[in-house]
Amino acid sequence: MFNLTGKVALVTGGSRGIGSEICVALASAGAKVIVNYNSSPGAAEAVVERIKSSGGDASLKRFNVADTSETEGAIKDIISENIRIDILVANAGIAIDSLFLRLNTDDVNKMWDVNVMGSIVPAKAVMKQMMKQKHGRIIFMGSVVGDMGNAGQTAYSATKAALGGAAKSLAKEYGSRGITVNMINPGFIDTDMTGQMTPEARELVSSQIPVGYIGRPEDIAAGVLYLSSDEARYVTGQTLRINGGLYME
């Protein structure tokens, strides 16, 4: 089950947190993983070493998902070097929190460029190759706040909600070509960001989650592994909510 042997996967923002665990999970299932990073070469190299030390196959590719021409050029190189690309996990994202009346337009644009265009541009760059192969898996990374909203995260929530519409539209356009497009909306996950929370804040958050605790990156990676697999061939245009019950639909 979930055998990805012979598949090539690109994970944007793969050097840390959720992204790094996604890379490890895909490699453990047999995929060759290209770990994208922009500003953390040491962390990205550590992910590759972790994969290789377990017998997996991985390599690095630096590009800024907010730079369209750089992203398109990098993905063209990846396809040329690997002949194919089967899985795209558009995981790279940023959050700049602010109360609505204090929103800085530049910050809104940065989040749009990374979170939205930084997912759509890579998807467009891999699409022709996936159509040629008659097979592909595209997974956008959203957020629970894209579903339920959150005070101080109006712009961030909007970018993540936008990806849901994009995933559904792409799923309708390319389902007949053997390409599925889905989205994962994580809830509170134990990463560097939540690691900065005080014990009191963590306890408060945990009390609002029905299962009673903050999730781990491995929980999200497991969802990516499923959606990347042949077992999920009949799943497209869907949002997989991995949030411990914080938001239910």
In sequence order, the β-bridge partners of residue 89 are 11, 139
Answer whether residue 248 is part of any domain. no
pLDDT tens track of the chain, all 249 residues?
Answer: 899 999 999 999 999 999 999 999 999 999 999 999 999 999 999 999 999 999 999 999 999 999 999 999 999 999 999 999 999 999 999 999 999 999 999 999 999 999 999 999 999 999 999 999 999 999 999 999 999 999 999 999 999 999 999 999 999 999 999 999 999 999 999 987 677 778 888 898 899 999 999 999 999 999 999 999 999 999 999 999 999 999 998
Contact 91, 114 (CB under 8 A): no
Strands 57-62 and 87-90, bridge-based pairing: unpaired
Instruction: Specify the CATH number for the domain of residue 102.
Output: 3.40.50.720
Q: How confident is the model at residue 124, as a pLDDT?
A: 98
Measured between alpha carbons, how far is 227 from 130 in angstroms, rounded to an integer?
Answer: 16
Q: How confident is the model at residue 198, as a pLDDT?
A: 85
Residue 222's domain spans which residues? Answer: 8-188+217-242
The identity of residue 53, as a single letter, is S
> Known catalytic residue: 213?
no
Give the residue from 243, 246, 245, 225 showing the smallest Cα distance to 235. 225
Answer whether residue 1 is part of any domain. no
Contact 169, 140 (CB under 8 A): no
Identify the three-state secondary structure at position 146.
helix
Tokens linked to 217: 């990156």
Answer whether residue 60 is part of any domain. yes
- Taking residue 102's Cβ as centre, other Cβ atoms within 10 Å add up to 9
Q: Count Cβ atoms within 10 A of the Cβ of residue 146 and give its class: 0-12 exposed, 13-18 middle, 19 or more buried.
A: buried
Domain count, the chain: 1
Sign of CA dihedral 170, 171, 172, 176: positive
Q: How confident is the model at residue 51, as a pLDDT?
A: 98
Residue 112 has what DSSP assignment? I
Answer whether residue 195 is part of any domain. no
Candidates 37, 156, 174, 247; catalytic one: 156
Q: How confident is the model at residue 249, as a pLDDT?
A: 85
Answer whether residue 198 is part of any domain. no
